[in-house]
Amino acid sequence: AQSVAQPEDQVNVAEGNPLTVKCTYSVSGNPYLFWYVQYPNRGLQFLLKYITGDNLVKGSYGFEAEFNKSQTSFHLKKPSALVSDSALYFCAVRRFINTGTASKLTFGTGTRLQVTL
Partner 1 sequence: EAGVTQFPSHSVIEKGQTVTLRCDPISGHDNLYWYRRVMGKEIKFLLHFVKESKQDESGMPNNRFLAERTGGTYSTLKVQPAELEDSGVYFCASSQERGPNREQYFGPGTRLTVT
Using CB under 8 A, list all residues that contact partner 1: 4, 32, 34, 36, 41-46, 49, 51, 90, 92, 94-97, 99-110
**SS3 category, 35:** strand
- Give phi and psi for 26, each to the nearest 5: -140, 125
**SS3 category, 111:** strand
Q: Name the residue nearer to partner 1 (CB basis): 78 or 94.
A: 94
Q: Name the residue nearer to partner 1 (CB basis): 21 or 110.
A: 110
Q: Name the residue nearer to partner 1 (CB basis): 15 or 72.
A: 72
Round to whole Å and give the CA distance between 76 and 42: 20
* Least spacing, CB of residue 12 vs partner 1, in Å: 18
